[in-house]
Structure 1
């Protein structure tokens, strides 16, 4: 691994290495300019801290050979291929920013890809299992039952991510039009349809919502104490619904999102529509949810889309 001079002090603090300040500046850029979620920024911080522990000299001293050695070292230490891929992705993004800021002459991780790993997909829920999971619960607390039913129905009806569900505000719902608006990854806004069952469940919940929510609370889904419900609480309630239904797999929000995409594809075959509904930037990401290889997806698209058909 390349060695270099002792890290220069950061002018803002006088003692923190400038390399650490570079990481802090990049993380701020991800959050403030590119709009990444706190979870994503935390993942970048973890990987870049690891990179800093493996290279103590100035960033500009790094060469592609050094990055290959670092990746090999992680593999020898037993890191999962997907973890190494994520690490290299974080490094590429960080170094690209350094080049853009004229702090490095070139990106030493450019073009590097980690070891290949099979993609673990959520186990399928068939339609019958999904109906079991969505069966209304009976209990002593009608407000709790109404909220949980609305969350379950909306997750499956519209394929929302967990963070999209918990981030919904009342102004994002248009139940008369049957639409919900959300801010997805990369701060991309999209609107998706809300099915009849989900609309009914949401209307029932909204009639109960005032039992818990403060008058000025904007969140659609709130906890018993009144503020916006958190991700962990939703995960617990969804898992409880799966146990109550007697499913042989753990139910979680992503599994309902996957069921939404799989069932919709089976019945419609409209891949591009599913891509838009899921909020994916490209077809390759949608492939994860559809269990189809990319070649087949391309064939479906070429056969179905008027603009994709070849001239005879």
Structure 2
């Protein structure tokens, strides 16, 4: 593509990090998706973003699907394109968004893996053997206590946690949204123990490395998998599994899907339904019991 097209792309990436403040993982995915789409445009002799039409986007998506790319990945690529073109429109570089109404192939809804309460209890009741394991235990308690995303956990600063009131503030949620979350007693205790061992460094992050730097998402993933293996959990443990477990256990006990939606930071309740294994039959039962005009008198 033309050099001007590349300049527009770089400007968008700066916008994502400085103004939108999207998660590092999302920004990296969008960058890769848009660069790949730019390569496709070059093969179609499309040198400027203004030249791209709806049929070009559809042709690209059809090709990705034909090559076996998952529907979930294609949905993300379309989201990246829509976001990019909204930026171009906002900055008066284009007059239309060619990706706006293009649909991705339907995603098969898979239920997420969760740990049962006994597995969670055994994992979190294990005694740490080192300062790093004290830190790790505090992270895992917080994941399960508050249902945090991985990106939200690593971005937590000391000032975000209110020990007196028992809550934390998520400043960098998905889509740049902020929310406030309760923190359970077990997680608060684990955090206090960790902070008692945490080195006194300038870094404001709650969870830091032995060198005093903010932990990366990859480090947390590796530490959790290692912890799970050492505690006898056969399946691969990943941070989102603790988030799934938080949501599933909370919903099972409370039956309050709206509250779980708020705690997870979902903008769409349908997403919460998938995360928490809630099926249509349960929703229908709740409707039948609660709605004043759901049944004949």
| TM-score, structure 2 as length reference | 0.88
Tell me the residue number matched to 1:11: none
Matched residue SS, 1:113: coil
How far apart in 2 are the matches of 1:145 and 1:108? Answer: 50
Q: Residues 117, 93 of structure 1: CA spacing in aligned structure 2 closer, same or farther, 3 A cutoff? A: same
Query: Aligned pair 1:114/2:86, yes or no?
Result: no
Deviation, 1:260, is: 0.5
- The answer to whether the 8 Å contact 2:24/2:151 transfers is no
How far apart in 1 are the matches of 2:6 and 2:285? Answer: 48
Higher mean C-alpha displacement, 218-227 vs 288-297: 288-297
Give per-residue Cα distances to partners, 1:64-123, cap 9 Å, x unaligned: 222222211222222222222222222222223333333333222221111112134431
Q: Residues 83, 187 of structure 1: CA spacing in aligned structure 2 closer, same or farther, 3 A cutoff? A: closer
Query: Aligned pair 1:170/2:165, yes or no?
Result: no
How far apart in 2 are the matches of 1:90 and 1:294? Answer: 30
Give per-residue Cα distances to partners, 1:171-205, cap 9 Å, x unaligned: 22222211122222233222211112112212222
Q: Residues 202, 61 of structure 1: CA spacing in aligned structure 2 closer, same or farther, 3 A cutoff? A: closer
Q: Residues 136, 66 of structure 1: CA spacing in aligned structure 2 closer, same or farther, 3 A cutoff? A: same
Tell me the residue number matched to 2:212: 226
Matched residue SS, 2:82: helix
Tell me the residue number matched to 2:94: 104
Please give the residue correspondences for 1:32-51 in structure 2 after superposition, counting only pairs within 5 Å. Answer: 32-51=18-37
Structure number with greater CO (CA < 8 Å, separation at least 6) is: 2
Query: Aligned pair 1:69/2:54, yes or no?
Result: no
Q: Residues 117, 109 of structure 1: CA spacing in aligned structure 2 closer, same or farther, 3 A cutoff? A: same
Matched residue SS, 1:180: strand
Give per-residue Cα distances to partners, 1:26-82, cap 9 Å, x unaligned: 222222222212322221111111111111323333222222222112222222222
Deviation, 1:300, is: 4.1
Tell me the residue number matched to 1:276: 262
| TM-score, structure 1 as length reference | 0.84
Tell me the residue number matched to 1:20: 6
Tell me the residue number matched to 1:14: none
How far apart in 1 are the matches of 2:281 and 2:16? Answer: 33
Q: Tell me how many residue pairs correspond in the alignment.
A: 290
Deviation, 1:268, is: 0.2
- The answer to whether the 8 Å contact 1:271/1:301 transfers is no
How far apart in 2 are the matches of 1:302 and 1:116? Answer: 29
- The answer to whether the 8 Å contact 2:71/2:104 transfers is yes
Matched residue SS, 1:192: strand
How far apart in 2 are the matches of 1:271 and 1:225? Answer: 41
Larger gyration radius, structure 1 or structure 2? 1
Please give the residue correspondences for 1:243-282 in structure 2 after superposition, counting only pairs within 5 Å. Answer: 243-282=229-268
Matched residue SS, 1:105: coil
Please give the residue correspondences for 1:120-135 in structure 2 after superposition, counting only pairs within 5 Å. Answer: 120-135=110-125
Tell me the residue number matched to 1:12: none
Q: Residues 78, 129 of structure 1: CA spacing in aligned structure 2 closer, same or farther, 3 A cutoff? A: same
Matched residue SS, 1:33: helix
Which runs of 5 or more structure 1 residues have no equivalent in the other structure? 1-6, 9-16
Q: Paired residue for 1:198, among 176, 187, 190?
A: 187
- The answer to whether the 8 Å contact 1:182/1:190 transfers is yes
How far apart in 1 are the matches of 2:286 and 2:181? Answer: 23
Deviation, 1:127, is: 0.6
How far apart in 1 are the matches of 2:231 and 2:146? Answer: 21
